[in-house]
Structure 1
Amino acid sequence: MQLVVLGLNHRSAPVDVREKFSFSKEALDHAMDHIYAHEEVEECVLLSTCNRTELYVVLNDMENVKEYMIRLLLHLKGKETVDVDEKWFFLHEGKACISHLFRVASSLDSLVLGEGQILSQLKMAYISSYSKGLTASVFNIIFQKAIAVGKRVRTMTGIANTPVSVSYTAVNLAEDSLDIPMNEAKVLILGAGQMSELTARHLQAKGVKSMFVSNRTFKTAEELATQFNGKAVAFDHFVGEAKTADIIITSTGASHYVIEREEAEEIMDGRGGKPIVMIDIAVPRDINPDVTEIPGVYLFNIDALESVVEANKHQREEEARKAEPIIEEALGEIEEKLQYLSVRPIMVLLSEKAEAIRKREVHRAMAKLPDATDRERKIISNMSRMLVRKLLRDPMIHFGEIAGKEEERDYWKLFQDMFALEVEDDTL
């Protein structure tokens, strides 16, 4: 048995390569249906996200594993005739494969350290394979343990407690600066690009219901506003709308200041002394830093945001170090379980044969003791059960100790001959 993972991620391959090997949900389901045709594969889980594609496999012992795994992945992707560079792919076997899986589940291998999506993505990949009958004793143990490890790392460390994206940090700073709940706040977003969309998603997740979007191209503003049940505002009129906003977030991509001191003063004149939070996540900046001289204006620009992000990254790295002992402990536990798996079939056969003999002999004994009470029968049955258990205990412990070692096959033959066990040929 060989435990293997072949994959490519943000470290091993550029984005244009990763895109070629990513699977949509429909494509992944279709690909997994093709696994059954590969007799060398005993168990399989395929994980595909925006930053990684990883194929986890339990293989029958074979040579040239990496070459085979690449061909297998190409087949599943329908790209058998495509030339590939082996350097794009990483391969881990045995304990290194399990360690990698645990680190993936714990988000220690993610582009954004501590991000929360990967654990649920891994869980869904496992469930998909399990539902198709593509996992058995090995992967059921390993993947369930990986999911438990991922949850424990998030619970026992602060790896996910601090924001490490500019857009998310901007929303957190806005929330911290307000004296009202986010679900009561009115937000005006200037700009309708990708950064604005990400920010809008974080705002919605925080409970913001009143969202306005303004952009030089009004149609683009309408499209973004529609996604979040917001309202589009003509760019020429955003100052008027800003007078009733609690938060302004800008990311326009303009080459000059969109909000000068004059606009900020006009906004504040219409607010009756009520403060406003301005967050400028644009490069170059959208808001003239001089607006901070106006009473009631609280401005956070990209420098302030990036310094918070950098500090949070360092904090997550510190928390990630706390995850290492959790992973090491789990690796030790899983190794013990997997080591026992290889000898479990013959132990089960021996136990079943011993139990059959015990029941037969107890039945014969009871036939000769027709006057035995229920209590006496129970005592005899329990005694026979304990005798069998104690007689088998030492041989089984010793057999378990040599599991995975060179002499394991010799012990299989010894047990088979000594106890006259009927073992299928492909088990040896």
Structure 2
Amino acid sequence: MEKTVAGKRTRLSEWRRAAGYSQERLAEHLGVDRSTVARWESGGTVPVPFARPRLAAALGVSSSELNAVLGDSVPSGLQPAADSLALGRLAETDLPRRDLLRLLSLAGTVIAGAELVSDRGEFVATGPLDASSVAELAIFNQQLWQIFAMATAKQAVYPLVTQQLVQLVDRLKRTHRAATRQALCELTCDLFQLAGEVFFDNDQYNSAAHCYTLAAQAAREAGSHDMWACALTRHAFISVYEQQFADTVPMLASAADLAAKGDCALSTRYWVSAVQSEAAAGLGDLTACERALEQAEQVRGLGRDSQTGGWLRFDGSRLPEQRGTCYTLLGKPDLAERSLQQALSTSVSLRRRGSVLVDLATVGVMRRDVEQTVTYATAAMDLTEQSGSGVIARKLSGLNQQLASHRHDPQLLRLTEDISARLSVERSPL
């Protein structure tokens, strides 16, 4: 029987905390009010059927397990994940959740293991990995990034990423010459950043953060300032999307310091500036935002070789939508719309286009333009269904919160209900 205290569903709240959610964040993720989540946990009501698949995905349990948690019995051995970095529903992939957690733990151990050796010359090859083998691993990493960029549903690349990670970690467990180990650490950093991107797109921020942390550790071991800076920037972007802008400032400052020590021919420092602009906008600092955007614009003076195509892909093409997002956060609808329409006129991915559409809908809210809000929000919802992107879904959830004060309008009331219903549809699990 489920443990209860004064009618409370203590197991449901335990699963929520284990998945890294507060009541407020879980409510935002599901597109419901915080009081709704509180009533679920207090035993006052139960989630309606259409909300259950998304709730199960957020908690990292199957539908049957969720039904048991909400009901009177719990299957033997069903416990909330002890690690707050639980990786969601991974049982349906090539690697079960426990195996992947073990892989991540092992990766962190083997990456850090070299720090215990004072003389890097001690890494003498036993069964050496030749240069051609390392090159083949690098080519496959590059191909995985290309698949990720082209895929409509980003999670489709996930099984291939985990298989490649298994190979890289297995090779890192062996002893190699220092140069070979450095190359393997760089490849591992590269791939953990890609794994983080997959989790990020699937709205699994805790898992993404864990991957970015391991990527930063691998970059540090490899002595790559640029890769290290990019891993930190991706990690900071999680707080940007959660609108915890103050939390990003120290991490982005560290990323900027590392990028300044890196290769000046790469676009790393300009990408850091672009993300700093959004953090400044979220904090309401127009001057700092525009200064950072101006710094990011300097990327256009670099040549074709300023990006790797993998862990570093910033070439300035995203700056119009970046400006639009910043001006939206700053509450400047005219400036925002100008940049967003410019971004919409170019060829962008489904995820980026969906993000721009949500920002344009937000501009409509600022102007109290119901038709603009409904038109762009509806288009964004359609793209969410096509791509399964948690990035667009998260922005739509934020838009829904802004619409809460406009529910006196029948069209906007229907829009909020439509968004909530769409967000409750389960995305393809990892």
TM-score w.r.t. length of structure 1: 0.25
Higher strand share goes to which structure?
Answer: 1
Of structures 1 and 2, the one with the larger relative CO (CA 8 A, separation 6+) is 2
Higher helix share goes to which structure?
Answer: 2
TM-score w.r.t. length of structure 2: 0.25
Larger radius of gyration: 1
